[in-house]
């Protein structure tokens, strides 16, 4: 499938990955409709940081993924749907699991129902590597067991299952896209890399973190959105789930030490008990297999960790960007 001239909907377009995906789809020649979360400030989230020329290329629609009527209006006249809208913060899912069910499961159902009704040509449902839980074997491929180790993870497993059922029951052309731990410019402070970088750049020398032993497969955001686009182009992945991963891992401790080395070598790590997940909920190892996406698409990772971290640090060093973050508090 080619994307040039296709009318595409991106839900969650105001967010971290969604805003980068919108930019890349514009470059691909797609006609982009961006679905953003309604608010009384008329903020379009990270889309507000795009250039005027880029904004002229997109149609912005405000709404709520939990509202089936607004979702139907957004999906109508679109040929491809990239569904990224979700609640993603794991600690907040401990406090508000109902909201995660409403947003992640029911919101996905709204997208699927509307896509079926309007005969959408392809629907990409965004999953997460958290559905796998702590690795039972590595690298983690798409056949790995699902382990709901947090309410967030459980809600995404539910959303994936609903999507799969629509493929099997109604032949809806879906693919479940499963990025591993994406990082880069615009990522929220609830993630570990912005947490470390913003503390360091604001002169904090006692860098507060949670458990340092988990490992993560870190994927630079530009590689993530390229993965979405290449998966959208591939008809061989209909009815499949597909990892986007680097086939590598790094511990949180080693990651933090590398960022400290690059920004302020005199800083040190302090474990903050508030940031430690319940033992049964912590995912201790994520190390993804990328064989399927490499075999079935033109995607290859273009950024190694050093390159991605360099670009990320450079973005956060811009005072206008850094000022958006509250490094002195624990962002859940």
User: How far apart are the C-alpha atoms of 110 and 287, rounded to whole Å?
Assistant: 32
152 is catalytic: yes
- In the chain, the domains with their CATH numbers are 7-183+219-244 (3.40.50.720), 192-216+248-286+303-322 (3.90.25.10)
User: How far apart are the C-alpha atoms of 232 and 226, rounded to whole Å?
Assistant: 10
In the chain, the percentage of residues whose pLDDT exceeds 70 is: 100
Query: Model confidence over 192-225: pLDDT tens digits?
Result: 999 999 999 999 999 999 999 999 999 999 999 9
pLDDT at 33: 98
Under a CB-based contact definition with an 8 Å cutoff, are residues 81 and 12 in contact? no
Three-state DSSP at 309 gives helix
pLDDT at 172: 98
Task: Tally the residues of the chain.
Answer: 332
Q: Please pick, among 152, 183, 287, 325, the residue that the annotation labels catalytic.
A: 152
pLDDT at 332: 86
Q: What is the mean pLDDT of residues 293-304?
A: 98
pLDDT at 137: 98
Query: Model confidence over 10-55: pLDDT tens digits?
Result: 999 999 999 999 999 999 999 999 999 999 999 999 999 999 999 9
The answer on pLDDT for 227 being more than 90 is yes
Phi then psi dihedrals of residue 326, to 5 deg: -105, 85
Q: What is the mean pLDDT of residues 159-168?
A: 98
What is the pLDDT confidence band of residue 325, given thresholds at 50, 70 and 90?
very high
User: How far apart are the C-alpha atoms of 282 and 279, rounded to whole Å?
Assistant: 6
Q: Write the DSSP string, 265-292.
A: TT-EEEE-GGGPPPTTT---B--B--HH
Query: Model confidence over 166-187: pLDDT tens digits?
Result: 999 999 999 999 999 999 999 9
């Amino acid at each position: 499938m080619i994307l040039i001239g296709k009318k595409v909907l991106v839900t969650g377009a105001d967010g971290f990955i969604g805003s980068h995906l919108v930019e890349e789809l514009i470059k691909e020649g797609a006609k982009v409709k961006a679905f953003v979360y309604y608010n009384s400030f008329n903020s379009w989230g990270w889309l507000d940081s795009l250039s005027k020329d880029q904004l002229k290329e997109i149609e912005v629609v405000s709404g709520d993924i939990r509202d089936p009527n607004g979702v139907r209006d957004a999906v109508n006249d679109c040929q491809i749907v990239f569904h990224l809208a979700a609640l993603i913060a794991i600690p907040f899912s401990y406090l508000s699991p109902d909201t995660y069910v409403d947003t992640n499961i029911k919101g996905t159902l709204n997208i699927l129902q509307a896509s079926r009704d309007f005969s959408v040509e392809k629907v990409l449902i965004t999953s997460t590597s958290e559905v796998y839980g702590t690795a039972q074997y590595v690298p983690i491929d798409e056949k790995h067991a699902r382990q709901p180790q947090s309410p967030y993870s459980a809600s995404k497993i539910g959303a994936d299952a609903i999507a799969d059922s629509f493929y099997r029951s109604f032949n809806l052309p879906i693919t479940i896209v499963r990025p591993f731990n994406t990082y880069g410019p615009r990522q929220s402070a609830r993630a570990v890399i912005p947490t470390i970088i913003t503390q360091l750049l604001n002169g904090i020398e006692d860098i507060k973190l949670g458990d340092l032993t988990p490992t993560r497969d870190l994927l630079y955001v530009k590689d993530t959105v390229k993965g979405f686009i290449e998966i959208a182009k591939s008809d061989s992945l209909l009815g499949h789930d597909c990892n986007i991963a680097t086939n590598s891992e790094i511990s949180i401790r080693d990651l933090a030490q590398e960022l400290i080395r690059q920004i302020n070598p005199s800083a040190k790590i302090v474990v903050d008990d508030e940031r430690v997940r319940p033992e049964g909920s912590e995912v201790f190892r994520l190390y993804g297999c990328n064989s399927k996406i490499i075999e079935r698409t033109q995607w290859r990772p273009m950024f190694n960790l050093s390159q991605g971290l360099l670009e990320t640090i450079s973005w956060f060093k811009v005072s206008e960007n850094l000022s958006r973050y509250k490094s002195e508090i624990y962002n859940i």
